[in-house]
Structure 1
Amino acid sequence: MTNKVAFVKWSALLLGIQLLLLLLMAGASDGKRTFDRCSLAKAMDKLDVPRNQLARWVCIAEHGSHYRTYVIGPPNDDGSTDHGIFQINDRIWCQPSNGQFSYNGCNVNCDALRTDHIDIAMRCAQLIQQDKGWGAWSVFKPKCSGQLPSIKDCFGGKSNHLVGASMHGKF
């Protein structure tokens, strides 16, 4: 009987360790988050982004990075690259980790724009928008100056997932 008791205790210990490892892995982040339309809108809302801008930011993220926080875009004509969910340029707005020259207008390392937490990327994107306007994003004119993805259903309202660009209401 002693062997059976020891086996049960050992099995329970192993099961506990496995459960602990699963919980740790589930909580661990590899820095590769992909949002969807509503999860991004809600995350930006929690960061106090004006609701009348959320659909435009969602559109930029959808067409710029496919809602992925970890994206580094292909090289631009000038050799610079764009980073994170809002595809922020490393020649002008963030400091690349390779040490190449940057004006670093957001005073941030580009790596900080490619994390699961979008607060730094959002603040930098807002600074860019205030300084250069929505046209600072190459996807804006062809993709985000007309119909915008609706976010009403993300906050409990009904939606057909598109809203006119001229709408400046709460959503």
Structure 2
Amino acid sequence: MKATAIILFIGVTLFAGASLSQAARTLNRCTLAREMAARGVPRDQLARWACIAQRESDYRTWVVGPANSDGSNDYGIFQLNNLYWCQPANGRFSHNGCRISCNDLLTDDITNSVRCAQRVLSEQGWGAWSTWRFCNGNLPSINDCF
């Protein structure tokens, strides 16, 4: 009985790991900068976005943050909040300002995350991210990425 449970656990773990690796990835500073530039993000913002992504998710696209004090969670590479910006799969109320499923922020294609993050920036400014205090000021140039 224990052996069956262990084999089942290993099988489920391997299956979950396989689907995760197909659906998400870890970027680095330069990959993120190049991909954001290709999606039309102004070059003078790229160092700030890279700093935020590193501080928020360590460049990981699949991260769902732990519950915040209001019970909400933050999703994806930029840790966008499900109370305001995306609709969680559990049907919980969301303002869903980006008109997107939170799961769409967890994939290897960062287009949805970039678009939603730009919307957050346009509506709330850089201060919408609690990590902004680390990314406000002199940052290393992103030019070496191009």
Is the structural similarity TM-score above 0.5?
yes
Equivalent residue, structure 2, for 1:54: 46
Tell me which amino acid in the other structure corresponds to 2:70: D
The corresponding residue for 1:39 is: 31
Paired residue type of 2:144: D
Which of these two proteins has the greater Rg computed from alpha carbons?
A: 1
1:39-118 aligned within 5 A: 39-118=31-110
DSSP 3-state at the match of 1:30 = helix
Higher relative contact order (CA 8 A, sep 6+): 2
Which residue of 22, 25, 38 maps to 1:30? 22
Partner of 2:144: 153
Does the Cα contact within 8 Å between 1:59 and 1:149 map onto a contact in 2? no
Structure 1 gaps, min length 5? 1-28, 156-171
Query: Does the 8 A contact of 1:64 with 1:139 survive in 2?
Result: yes
Structure 2 partner of 1:144: 135
CA RMSD of aligned residues (A): 1.3
Q: Is residue 135 from structure 1 mapped to residue 127 from structure 2 by the alignment?
A: yes
Superposed displacement of residue 147, structure 1: 2.9
Output the TM-score relative to the length of structure 2. Answer: 0.84
Q: How far, CA to CA, are the matches of 2:75 and 2:36 in structure 1? A: 18
Deviation at 1:94, TM superposition (A): 0.3
Which one is further off, 30-39 or 145-154? 145-154
TM-score normalized with structure 1 length: 0.72
In 2, Cα distance between equivalents of 1:35 and 1:149: 18
Corresponding letter in the other structure for 2:86: C
Q: Give yes or no for contact 1:58–1:149 (8 Å, CA) kept in 2.
A: no
Paired with 2:37 and 2:23, the residues of 1 have a C-alpha distance of 21
The amino acid across from 1:110 in the alignment is: C
Q: Secondary structure at the match of 1:123?
A: helix
Percent of residue pairs identical: 56
By how many angstroms is 1:69 displaced?
Answer: 0.3
2: distance between equivalents of 1:149 and 1:106?
Answer: 30
* Residue correspondences, number: 127
For 1:148 and 1:78, how far apart are their aligned partners in 2? Answer: 32
